[in-house]
Amino acid sequence: MGPRDVLRHTMAETGTSQSQLARISGVRQPSISQFLSGTIEFSDDQIDRLLSCMGYRLEVSRRAVNANLTRSERRSWSMHRQLATHLTTTSLTTWQPTIFANIARLRAGVRGQPHLANIDDWEHLVSTQDVAALRRALTGVDRHSIEMREVTPMGGILTEEERHQALQRAV
């Protein structure tokens, strides 16, 4: 059950309306409505505060869940993960000519969305040297990171040996 469902269920169970919860908690009713409709997000602390106004508390259970990547996605993730072990501002500066040449090559041959937008994202991240965001794109298992790696401009950076090792680990 997601946070919205938890709040919605607790409100129904306690017979608490949005306006009552707003008066008790001090959180504006439109904000509660926007959270319940998915327009805005609340932190766990904010949700806990709202639940406490109804005599409940939030219990969060976190656990690691396998991302269940396809064989192709896992191979790509493994190679990009290997790249992430070398990623620093200095290494990125060294890699930039190769990456920008790859981006130009990709732009000439890639059509359609989300690929073109993802190439724009790569170019922005590399141009601004946003190492943290690049690391997320290289190693993320969310849909956007997976799709970004489908049009990776990172070819030619790993040594052949590192590439082979990364592919072996992906099996």
Chain segment 50-108, per-residue pLDDT in tens? 999 999 999 988 788 889 999 999 999 999 999 999 999 999 999 999 999 999 999 99
Which alpha helices (H) appear in the chain, and where do they start and end?
A: 3-14, 18-25, 29-37, 44-52, 71-84, 89-109, 115-127, 131-139, 143-149, 160-170
- Return all residues near 8 (Cβ < 8 A) that are at least 6 apart: 36
Chain segment 130-146, per-residue pLDDT in tens? 999 999 999 999 999 99
- pLDDT class for 30, splitting at 50, 70, 90? very high
Output the CATH code of domain 3-52.
1.10.260
Global pTM value: 0.67
Gap between the Cα atoms of 164 and 158, Å rounded: 9
Enumerate the domain spans of the chain: 3-52, 71-170
Which has the closest alpha carbon to 154: 69, 90, 67, 91?
91
